[in-house]
Amino acid sequence: MDFIHPTPFQYKIINCLRVILAGIARFIFSLFSCCRKKKIPPIHYDILKQPAIEVARKIRNKEITSVEVLEACIKRIIDVNSTLNCLIENRFAAALKEAKEADSFIRSGIKSEEQLLKEKPFFGVPFTTKDSISVKGLHNTAGLYSARHNIADNDAKVIKLLRDKGAIIIGITNVSELCLWWESYNKIYGRTKNPYDTTKIVGGSSGGEGALQAAAGSCFGIGSDIGGSIRIPALFNGIFGHKPSKKIVSNDGQFPEVKSEQEETCLVIGPMTRHAVDLKPILSIISGENSYKLKLDQPVDMRKINVYYQKNINAPLTDPVDQEIGSVLQKVIRFFETKYQVKAVKTNIKLLKASAPIWFASTVSEPRLRTYVTENGDCSERAIIQEIMKSICGHSDKTLITLMIALTDDVDLKSDTYKENRLLGEKLEDIFKEMLGDNGVFIFPTHPTAALYHNEPLFRPYNFLYTAIFNSLGFPATAVPLGLNRSGLPVGVQVIANHNNDRLCLTVAEELEKEFGGWVEPQRKK
C-alpha cells in the first residue's frame, strides 16, 4: 500500500479533526495524571554526575576504583528502577567481577595511566545499552513478546568495540515493541516513565536508555536511531544523543536484523550521554575502522561555521513547534551571533513538507514488518486486522500501535509513487548538501513539544518527522538539551551537519552545553 496523498482540503479536514481529538485526549490524560506522579530520589553519588571521560581518568589515576563506580551505578539503578522501569535485565555479578579485575590490573602497574588512556580510554567505566543491541548472555527481544526467550549468543559489534576499550556493560534497557514507536512500551516489560515527570513518556525507541541516563544509572549509554530513536528520548529526558552519519557505525548484532540497503542507510547506532564531551570519544570507538572518515580530532573554528535554522517542518499532520521550544531555538541563534559574530540564516526549505512519504519510502525493509506481528505465516491485511481487534479487546500479545503500523507495511517497490518519493528524498538531500557544504550546521527542533503524557503520541503520530527526515538523508544529528520549560520538562534542539561532518555537530553541542548548562538533575524529593 503506497503512501496516500490527500488533497490540501482533505489534509485540512483531517488535521482539524486530529487537533481536536489531540486536545480532548490531552485534557483527559491531564486529569488522570494528577494523582499518579511519583518522584525519584536525588543522586547521592557525585561520581555519577561527572562525564564518563572524567570517571575513566579517575579510575586510571587510582582516585576511585571501578568497583566503587559500578556499585554507585547499581545502587542508583535500585533507587530509581522500581519507579521508572528503565533497566530490564542486568549482569551486575559479571560486571562486578570485571570491575575487580580492572582494579587489580591498574594496581599492578603493568600499564601506565598514559598507556591506558591511549589503549583503553574507558577502562573500568560502566555503561548500558538498549534491548535490540545484543549483549552476550542477555535477552535480545526488541520488546517483541514472541521473542521473549531470545538470548544473544554474541555481543553486537559496537558492544565488543567498547568492551575492547575497557568499558563494562552492566545491563539492557527498555524499548518500544520492535523499536517502531516513540513511546517505550511493550508487552514483555511494560512502560518506562520519565524521571522528570513520571506521567510523561520517555520517547522511543531508546526510551529506557534515555531515562536511565537522565537518572544517572550508568556512565553512558548506547542507542539506535531509524526515525529519531536516539534524539527524541534524548530531548524528552534532557540528555545528549548523537545519530551518526550513515554507514559509519556497524549495525551488526541488532534485532530485528538489518537486511536491506535502505534500512542500513537509515538505521544507525550512537551514544547517549549526560555530557557533550563524552560523545566524540565514544563515537570514535564505536565507528571502528570508519573512524578516520569523521576526522573527529580535527579542530573546529566556531567563527567560521555557517549557521542555518528553521522553526517548523510544515509537514501535513505534524504539530507546529511549541513557543518554549521556539524560544530556546532563538536563544541558540543569538548565542552564535553574539559570541562568535556568526550571522545565522533563516531558511524555508519547502520540500521538508514531503518528509512523511520520503521517510516511509526510505525505510522499506525485508522481511516485512508484518511477518513479525502475525501468526502461522499469514501476512495478509485480514490477519493483521484480526490481531488489531484482539488487541483492542485486550487479547493480543502485540501492541496496538505496532499492528497499525504493520497494516501500512506493504509498499510496492515497483510503483511510480514509490519511485517518485525516492527521487524527492534525493532532491532534498542535494538541497541540504549544497547548503551545508563542509562547514555548515542546521539548527532545527528535535520535536515540536516536550515530553507528552503516556499514550498521547497516538494522537500526534507524525511529530517524529522532525527527526526522521534526517535518517532518510543520512546526515549526522545531535540532540542538545537546553534547560527545562515551565512544567519542569527538558527542551532542546538538534544540530545537523553534512555527511561525515559529525565533528561539527559535536563541537556545537559542547559549546551549547557550556553556555546553557546541558543536563539538569531530575526532580528531587522535597
Selection from 157, 179, 8, 188 nearest residue 85 by Cα: 188
66, 132, 176, 229: the catalytic one is 229
Distances (CA, A) of 116 to 119, 161, 234, 379, 401: 5, 15, 30, 52, 47
Distance CA 151, CA 149 (A): 6
**Contact present, 56 and 277 (Cβ < 8 Å):** no
CA distances 457 to 58, 121, 391, 463, Å, are 42, 40, 18, 8
| Type and span of the H or E element at 429 | helix 416-436
Under 8 Å between Cβ of 254 and 269? yes
Coil, helix or strand at residue 185: strand
Q: Of 205, 206, 245, 287, which one is the catalytic site residue?
A: 205
Known catalytic residue at 229 = yes
Q: How far apart are CA 68 and CA 162, in angstroms?
A: 20
Residue 376 CA to residue 398 CA, distance in Å, equals 15
For the chain, the distance separating the N- and C-terminal CA atoms, rounded to the nearest angstrom, is 53
Pairing of strands 345-346, 477-484: unpaired
Contact 209, 271 (CB under 8 A): no
- Measured CA distances, 303 to 299, 478, 511 (Å): 12, 20, 12
H-state helical runs in 40-170 = 52-60, 66-84, 92-108, 113-119, 157-164
Distances (CA, A) of 412 to 71, 199, 366, 416, 421: 52, 40, 12, 9, 12
Is residue 477 within a helix (H) or strand (E), and if so which, with residue range?
strand 477-484
Please report, for residues 261, 391, 400, 446, the alpha-carbon distance to residue 373 in angstroms, rounded to integers and kept in the order given: 23, 12, 11, 30
Which residues share a beta bridge with 90?
A: 171
Which residue is catalytic, options 58, 130, 246, 311? 130
What does DSSP assign to residue 248?
A: S
Beta carbons within 8 Å of 111's beta carbon, 6+ residues apart: 105, 119, 120
Task: Answer yes or no: are the C-beta atoms of 40 and 195 closer than 8 Å.
Answer: yes
Q: How far apart are CA 199 and CA 157, in angstroms?
A: 35
170 close to 95: Cβ distance less than 8 angstroms = yes
Which residue numbers are catalytic?
Answer: 130, 205, 229
